[in-house]
Amino acid sequence: MPKLKPATQRARREHILDAAEICFARAGFHRTTMQDICKEAQVSPGALYVYFPSKEDLIAGLAERDRSDFAERFAEVSAAPDFMQALSKLGDHYFHDEPAHKRTMCLEIGLESIRNPRVGEIYRSVDRFVEESFERLFAGLAAEGRIAPDLDIPTLTKVFTMIGDGMFMRRALDPNFDAKTLVPAAMALIGKLLNARPEANAAGSDKAEKKRQ
């Protein structure tokens, strides 16, 4: 049997992860079987187990994919001249543009993380990555004078991620969740929390760019 090209392997792996995401959202972690995922992905059990020997491995794959996607999007926020505008765009993506089943799936995995030590470590590693990314961003913005310089950055970051987590959950649970209204309202609140300074954004961004050069 000829060996699949790396690009074909990546595409097949992504296809299986997409199927697992749908299954976990639809039936939950425990009720979903590997056979359910095979059926959704239209692959044989052998093809599935080549990439993911267990449901925990699927969770790890989904977490790594989400972390990579977040890192790519977050890099745009970090480099943006107007970080509040970029942050709003990030909020639109996660609270409006992404399909609703992704939020349901994440709630399912969050619940499983309480009971399953391996899933718990995977879940918390992503949580830490997101929190540390924002903490570095806020510290840099404070140093550049683009937000208030006297903020307690670790506490601020915790509060910020709590707001995000709450919106994340509401979007999954509330069929009337209106992202187009709520995201701008949340951004206005966060801007006040950060004491963001629009007039310093351009200057701060130029200063940061010179440091990188």
- On whether residue 184 sits in a domain, the answer given is yes
pLDDT at 100: 85
pLDDT at 1: 42
Question: Is there a single domain that holds both residue 69 and residue 49?
Answer: no
Q: Tell me the three state secondary structure of residue 80.
A: coil
CB 29 within 8 A of CB 55: yes
Q: What is the pLDDT of residue 69?
A: 95
Gap between the Cα atoms of 76 and 30, Å rounded: 37
Residue 59 lies in a domain: no
pLDDT at 211: 46
72 with 48, same domain?
no
Q: What is the DSSP string of 120-168?
A: HHHHHHHHHHHHHHHHHHHHHHHHTTSS-TT--HHHHHHHHHHHHHHHH
CA-angle at 125, arms to 9 and 19, nearest 5°: 35
Task: Decide if 194 contacts 147 (C-beta within 8 A).
Answer: yes
For residues 108 and 208, membership in a common domain is answered with: yes
In this structure, the answer to whether residues 47 and 97 fall within a common structural domain is: no
Same domain for 169 and 125: yes
Q: How many other C-beta atoms are found inside a 10 Å radius of the C-beta of residue 121?
A: 12
- Which residue intervals of the chain are DSSP H helices? 6-27, 34-41, 45-51, 55-79, 83-92, 100-115, 117-143, 153-173, 179-194, 198-212
Which range marks the domain in which residue 141 is found? 65-212
- 125/190 same-domain check: yes
- Say if residue 26 is in the same domain as residue 113: no
What is the rounded CA–CA span in Å between residue 207 and residue 43? 52
The residues near 12 (Cβ < 8 Å, ≥ 6 apart) are 4, 43, 47, 51
Q: Are residues 35 and 74 located together in one domain of the fold?
A: no
What's the domain count of the chain?
A: 2
Q: Are residues 30 and 71 in the same domain?
A: no
Q: Rounded to whole angstroms, how far apart are CA atoms 81 and 155?
A: 25
- Tell me, what's the pLDDT at 197? 66
How does pLDDT run along the chain (213 residues), one tens digit per residue? 457 778 888 999 999 999 999 999 999 999 999 999 999 999 999 999 999 999 999 999 999 999 999 999 999 999 999 999 999 999 999 999 999 889 899 898 888 999 999 999 999 999 999 999 999 999 999 999 999 999 999 999 999 999 999 999 999 999 999 999 999 999 999 999 898 766 555 554 555 455 444
What is the per-residue pLDDT for 126?
Answer: 93
Residue 150 lies in a domain: yes
Does residue 117 form part of some domain?
yes
Contact residues for 163 (Cβ-Cβ < 8 A; gap 6+): 186, 189, 190
Q: d(Cα 37, Cα 44) in Å, to the nearest integer?
A: 10
Domain co-membership, 70 together with 150 = yes
